[in-house]
Every structure is written in structure tokens, then in C-alpha cells.
Amino acid sequence: MTFTGAPLIGVTTSELRPASYARPVPEGDPPQAEMALGMVYMRAIERAGGLPVVLPPLPVARVALLVAHLSGVCLSGGPDIAPAGYGAPPHPELGPTAPALDAFELAIARRADAVGLPVLGICRGMQLLNIVRGGTLQQHLADVVADGGLHKGPPGTFTRHAVRLTAGSLVASLLGEQAEVHSCHHQAPDRIGDGLEVTGDAADGVVEAIELPGAAFCLGVLWHPEEDTEGGGPLFRGLVEAARAREAGSGGLRISA
């Protein structure tokens, strides 16, 4: 059966929350471990013309089959990545990590990269893209930049700052050579992964955008475009259009609106 319309975009889970985080209600089920993902990702993809679907952290052995049904992938933001995944010891300022979630999402990113699936990585997702290609992370920006507060404000808030984008790059073709972005991170790429190019940075030199030249669409940004309907929309439209073009060429699955 052939479907036409909105390409199916898989979105990774932002966070796994233990049962102790759940607030029981008299009418509900007993507390249990839960997936968490902000609805802003879903709305941004839907506005861009895609059909979003949340990717639950299944066993890594299921990743190839799961990815085979997708037209594109959005690697969402979320908690710090366990540094064992890129061969580093933990920093004292490292936040809570979820190694099982890391393993699943690294496998998703690796498989999407291997089959040429359009990918947009956001914050944590951008860091996953870098690690998959052999890169590493700076675990605490306050160690290496004069003002770590430029990138992360008080808990529960976003900062705003400018980023410079490389002329001729994918990200600049979508946003221009300068953008004002929403930011909430204390980590960033350190060594850049094989084949990736840095195509955006902040005034303090922090790497803000990476992409894979020659790929149909493989872009990672350290900021949160899902929080900016107008300014972030072009990135999601770019992902959806790349997914639509890929499926038009392969005759793959798309879902009628």
C-alpha cells in the first residue's frame, strides 16, 4: 500500500524518569518509569509538514527495524550524555545520565547516518551526532569560556544569544549567516567527529552547529529551535522537505494527512 502526504519523522525521547518522580492520582495507575518529551518538538515538526512519532528506548537490536519505517529523525534535547560513551571520565559538574537511553539513541543516530536518513540533532541530539562519528564533548563550559551563563541560565529558563553561521552551509541556507537563538546547555562539542564540519559558533568560540557535507540533510545545532516558532521553523521545514524528497525517490512510506 502506498501512502502520500506527511513524512514520518521519528523523535527521540528526551528523558527517562523513575517511578519516584511520578505524582500518583486516585484515578490513575500506580507510579512507574516514564518517558518524557516536550510537546514543542511534536508541534514544530507538524507545523513543518511532517508527522512526528516518539521513539521509545527499545533494545538496540530493534533499532534497524525501527529506523526502516522512518523518513527522517529528530534527535531531541535532554540530559547529559554519559562520558563513557566517548571514552572520558565524568566531570564533577556532570548532571544525571541515563546510559541505557544513551545506547539506544546513539544506535538510532548511527543507523540513520549509515542509511542516509535526514537527521536534525538538537542540543543533546547534536552532541550524539558528534559522538557517533568519533567526536568528544567539553563536559562543563564554565571551565573553558569566560561566561558560561551565556549558554545556560537558571534552571527552567533559556538564554538568548547570537550565533554566526558559515556562508554556503546547510544551516546558513536555512537561517542566513546570523541567528538569535534559545540556549540551555553546559556542554558542547570538543573534538569534532570524522567528516563533520563546524558551520556555526557563538562569540566565545563555542561550537553551535555541525553538519555532514554531501549528506542530503545531516545537521546538528546546540540551541533549541523548537522553542522559537518563527526563527526555528526553517530548520524543521528543511528536515521535513529532505525527508519528503528522500521518500519521493525511494517510493517509501508516507502518511496521508
Residues known to be catalytic: 123, 224, 226
Q: How far apart are the first and last CA of the chain?
A: 16
Pair 73, 41: CB distance under 8 Å: no
DSSP string for 141-165: GGGTSS-GGGT--STT--EEEEEEE
C-alpha 55/C-alpha 108 separation (Å) is 9
Please provide residue 255's backbone torsions phi and psi, each rounded to the nearest 5 degrees.
-110, 135
Q: Is 115 left (phi over 0), alpha (psi -120 to 50) or beta?
A: alpha
Q: What does DSSP assign to residue 93?
A: T
Query: With the CA atoms of 81, 152, 195 and 117 taken in that order, what torsion angle do they form, in degrees rounded to the nearest 10?
Result: 70
What is the SS3 assignment for 139? Answer: coil
- Residue 30 neighbours by CB distance under 10 Å: 7
